Amino acid sequence: MNYLIETSRLGLRELTPGDARHFLDLNADPEVVKYTGDPPFESIESAKDFLEKYDQYEKYGYGRWAVILKKSGEFLGWCGLKYLPELDESDLGFRFFRKYWNQGYATEAAKACIEFGFKKLNLKRIVGRAMAANVASVRVLEKCGFHFLREIDFEQHPGKYFYLDVYELDDENSDVTIREEMPADRDAIFEVNKAAFGQEDEGRLVNRVREGEHFVPGLSLVAEMDGQVVGHILFSKIQINHLKGQTITLALAPVTVLPAHQRKGIGKMLNRAGLRKAYSLGFTSVIVLGHPEYYPKFGFEKASKWSIRCPFEVTDAAFMAIELVPGSLEKMAGTVSYPAEFQEE
């Protein structure tokens, strides 16, 4: 059988009307649908009718998928991504027959769907919702790395809303270590910037920021390979001036990789690690001025989406921002202010 997504144990394929009996039996178990808000199907015909009218694949290119145990061909349940046009969100969902619970299938299938969503569908964020009482589903979302954001109403019951961003994907290059800079790295960081940019301006910027009040310990990261510093990324504090005052955010600048090690995914590793670290330190957004085809891979969007402006003239596409916490840039319309360290000596 040809599967759209595969793991070591599972294969995921599109749902078909031929799955009607499985859907009828799945929703007939009150324990399975206890926390979903979904009623059971009245008959196999109603289940078949639901599947015949299921149009997510045609409309959006993805949806919920049947989960099959490869070694036996058994239908375990379903898992997948549902686009919610009214919210412009992609929601992760899953449902399995009770006899397949507590065997890791839900987590395995969910992780595969997440990877497919980020790598194949180019999604920037995937969300998850569950009733607060649905401890098992909440645990699956947590195992997949989702962050709890807020309490919500879920089918007229207390619920929880989670999210996961594309920059949180695991990296695959095991030969490279991303770590915080140490004092002994400073000369190497300067030389990496000089070699990559063909000038000393970026290295001097790093030195100025490091000595200033806007430097954030822990957000100057290096990529190390075989004991050599081959890349570097820096995040430092800047502010957005808006009608209600000033809000601290981060500037991503610069990021660099030695020319001999470019196009090996090291820059991607630095960006992802830096954004994860920024989130862990309590920062909720990042601003970057950079290539409009590169940074969206990590979830950046035009800052103009939030009416946030650059203090000097740049193209709209090149001035970007990312919310590390959903909603953190709402009502932040204003102008970014860069500190004196960003001015050339």
The pair of three-digit structure tokens given for residue 177, joined into one six-digit string: 């270590």
Same domain membership, residue 181 and residue 75: no
Is the pLDDT reported for residue 172 higher than 90? no
pTM above 0.95, yes or no: no
Q: What's the total number of domains in the chain?
A: 2
State the pLDDT at residue 242: 94
- Residue 205 sits in the same domain as residue 117: no
The answer, yes or no, to whether residue 203 has pLDDT greater than 90, is yes
Whether residue 148 sits in one domain with residue 23: yes
Out of 168, 194, 224, pick the residue that ends a domain: 168
**CA-based Rg of the chain, rounded to a whole angstrom?**
23
Which band of pLDDT confidence, cut at 50, 70 and 90, is reported for residue 235?
very high
Same domain assignment for residues 182 and 257: yes
What's the pLDDT score for residue 345?
Answer: 57
Cβ 23 vs Cβ 41: under 8 Å: yes
Q: Say if residue 70's pLDDT is above 70.
A: yes
160 contacts 62 by C-beta, under 8 angstroms: no
- Which whole number is the average pLDDT over 309-320? 97
**Residues 164 and 275 placed together within one structural domain of the fold:** no
Boundaries of domain holding 286: 177-342
Give the model's confidence band at 272: pLDDT under 50 very low, under 70 low, under 90 confident, else very high.
very high
Among 168, 197, 226, the domain-final residue is: 168
Same domain, 164 and 237: no
The reply to whether 150 and 291 lie within a common domain is no
- Distance between start and end Cα atoms, the chain: 64
289 shares its domain with 144: no
Please state, for a pLDDT cut of 90, what percent of the chain lies above it.
94
Task: Using the predicted structure, report yes or no on whether residue 95 has a pLDDT greater than 60.
Answer: yes
Other beta carbons within 10 angstroms of residue 312's beta carbon come to 9
* CATH code where residue 274 lies: 3.40.630.30
Burial of 66 (0-12, 13-18, 19+ CB in 10 A): buried
Among 143, 168, 193, where does a domain finish?
A: 168
Same domain, 247 and 277: yes
Same domain (yes/no): 181, 161: no
**Is the domain of 25 the same as that of 146?**
yes
Distance (Å, rounded) from C-alpha 170 to C-alpha 241?
35
What would the pLDDT profile of 108-151 be if each residue is shown by its tens digit? 999 999 999 999 999 999 999 999 999 999 999 999 999 999 99
218 and 296 belong to one structural domain: yes
Using one digit for the tens of pLDDT, what is the confidence trace for 249-267? Answer: 999 999 999 999 999 999 9
